[in-house]
Structure 1
Amino acid sequence: MAPHMMHQQMQSPEMQRIMAMARNTLSQTQKTFLEGVEQKMRGGQPPSGDDMKTMFGIQQHIMAVVSTLQKFSHPAEKK
């Protein structure tokens, strides 16, 4: 099982939904890139330095989307 799939199993259903929404914001190019790197890693080949830089940028994008979705999925409590 792919590492990201194992991680998904440990997440709450809400977090799984948010992560799926965040992944859906990726471009087809980004999705294809990640699938290619994951396939190489499953074959035992570590990502190159350029791959790591690109993955970091994609990770930052996903984290920003997740943060935004979490912020707006929990309405502020009234005082």
Structure 2
Amino acid sequence: MAERDDEEREFDIRWADGAEEKEPSARARMLAARWKENPPQAQPFRPEPERLRRPRSPWVSTAIVFGCVAAVIVLLGYANFRAPF
């Protein structure tokens, strides 16, 4: 008999999802009350520290990539030239 009572009292997620009104969590209510008086300032996602910022031309990155590709081509050509037949 006790097992049957436990099964009847078990939480039914379908019943909860079917509720007409859903109450916000305590944290959501707390933040809403706080932001009503003092709204948060917009902040960028993961801002870069000022000391690490360096203005760089996009051509620098392009030159680095082409330089690396040229170095690999030269090294492969040299290795192929030196390889015994």
TM (normalized to structure 2)?
A: 0.29
Structure with the larger RCO, 1 or 2 (CA within 8 Å, 6+ apart): 1
Pair member with larger Rg: 2
